[in-house]
Amino acid sequence: MGVTIHVENLNAWYGKVQALHDINLKFEPNHATALIGPSGCGKSTFIRCLNRMHETIPEARVKGRVRIGELDAYNGTSATQLRRRVGMVFQKPNPFPSMSIYDNVASGLKLNGVRNRKQLDEVVERSLNASALWDEVKDQLHKQSGAGLSGGQQQRLCIARALAVEPEVLLMDEPCSALDPISTGKIEELIFQLKEQYTIVIVTHNMQQAARVAEFTGFFLLGKVIEFDKTEKIFTNPSNKRTEDYITGRFG
């Protein structure tokens, strides 16, 4: 099941450049929350801070507190331990090209030392079912490379790979921006199903997508959260004029 995410006074820098300023947010379990805002406003940096992916960038640093359920992300928790709980799906599908579909999904489990074939088989099938891909690939699990799938299938394969290690949170950084409308619809349908089990945070430039899939929406601007509320209110009656200007296309 999903967990609550508490973010308190989060600040982030790349070298001397401050990317996030005093972010305070709470994400509810078993809901999808969308983060919107113009390019470069800090949305992707923010979700990378939730599972410490930003640490892969030299000179990146963070101050503040992030709690994922009972885990304190920056105090007494290793990045590896955190990322088992907090899965991530990126903008561009990134299956491991030299691996079969099966090995792509099983890779996280194998890294964690799972070698039991029956257990691996069960998790691969369950994860591919959860990502609505099983029926399309079940006959080519060991024959087909992950890179040989269509773009939409590759993205669902990456979702299956993230789900295989049984996280509680799923972060999605513009997961549909490189996909056609039919594949986008499948991913959105998937988000509806997945939020019954996970806490989902999705960064999107597509405001219609935010309105369709998320119960809550946060508007970021220049590294700050300008407004955070129920999605319906954000899109129909925002409290801040800058939110309204962005949503109505006056800038961004």
Tell me: the pLDDT tens digits for 85-101? 999 999 999 999 999 99
In a domain, 109, yes or no: no
Is 185 part of any domain? yes
pLDDT band of residue 113 (cuts 50, 70, 90) is confident
**Mean predicted confidence (pLDDT) in 8-36:** 97
Is 118 part of any domain? no
Is 104 a domain residue?
A: no
- pLDDT tens for 188-230 read 999 999 999 999 999 999 999 999 999 999 999 999 999 999 9
Task: For the chain, give the longest Cα–Cα distance.
Answer: 56
What was the pLDDT predicted at 152?
94
In this prediction, residue 111 carries a pLDDT of 84
pLDDT at 9 over 80: yes
Task: Kindly indicate the confidence band of residue 252, based on its pLDDT and cuts at 50, 70 and 90.
Answer: low
CA distances from 20 to 10, 122, 216, 232, 251 (A): 7, 41, 20, 26, 20
Provide the domain count of the chain. Answer: 1
Alpha helices by DSSP H, listed for 25-150, are 43-50, 79-85, 101-111, 117-130, 134-137
In a domain, 189, yes or no: yes
Residue 218: inside a domain = yes
Please indicate, yes or no, if residue 139 is contained in any of the structural domains: no
On the question of pLDDT at 251 being above 90, the answer is no
CATH, residue 209: 3.40.50.300
For residue 161, pLDDT over 90 is answered with yes
| Residue 145 pLDDT exceeds 90 | yes
Distance in Å from the first CA to the final CA of the chain: 36
pLDDT at 114 over 90: no
Domain interval for residue 226: 5-99+167-247
Query: How big is the chain by its Cα radius of gyration, in Å?
Result: 18
Percent of the chain with pLDDT over 70: 100
